């Protein structure tokens, strides 16, 4: 992240060439697990707040999820709600998948206006859908 860009704009730069700005949330780490939904579609799912988005690439899925989070936070702020309070944590299967996943080298932060520290997004990829059980061959 370029400190000059953050100081000038108040936003944190992302690897995707855009900035992220989610106001009013406490600094934290947002964990995202990314997995292939099909051969052509990737899903990015946030763990602390169960939100998901899809894209044709891992990067597109993550970028879409960040924009979705920004929209929900903006809505919550306009309605005097705690940002993302309507979303519980993701199911245990996704947390387990994140714990066994390979962390992606994506450097992304969300700028919290009310604090000095932006939140770091940690994304990790698994090769299979976390909610689907692998098929077991049966011997007759």
- 130 found inside a domain: no
| Number of domain units in the chain | 1
Longest dimension (CA), the chain: 68
> Is residue 47 included in any domain, yes or no?
yes
Q: Is residue 72 part of a domain?
A: yes
pLDDT digits (tens, 9 = 90+) for 86-106: 999 999 999 999 999 999 998
Asked, for residue 42, whether it belongs to a domain, the answer is yes
In a domain, 136, yes or no: no
In a domain, 30, yes or no: yes
Contacts of 70 by beta carbon, 8 Å cutoff, 6+ apart: 20, 21, 22
pLDDT bucket at 133, cuts 50 / 70 / 90: low
The pLDDT score that the predictor gives to residue 9 is 33
pTM above 0.75, yes or no: no
**Domain that includes residue 113, residue range:** 3-125
Backbone angles phi, psi at 55, to 5 degrees: -160, 170
């Amino acid at each position: 992240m370029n400190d000059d860009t953050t100081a000038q704009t108040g936003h944190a730069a992302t690897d995707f060439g855009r900035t992220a700005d989610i106001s009013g949330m406490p600094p934290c780490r947002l964990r995202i697990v990314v997995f292939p939904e099909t051969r052509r579609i990737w899903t990015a799912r946030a763990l602390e707040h169960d939100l998901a988005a899809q894209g044709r690439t891992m990067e597109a899925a993550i970028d879409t999820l960040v924009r979705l989070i920004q929209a929900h936070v903006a809505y919550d702020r306009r309605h005097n709600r705690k940002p993302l309070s309507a979303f519980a944590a993701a199911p245990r299967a996704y947390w387990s998948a994140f714990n066994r996943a390979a962390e992606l080298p994506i450097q992304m932060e969300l700028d919290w206006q009310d604090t000095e520290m932006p939140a770091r997004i940690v994304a990790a990829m698994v090769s299979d859908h976390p909610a689907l059980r692998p098929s077991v061959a049966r011997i007759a």
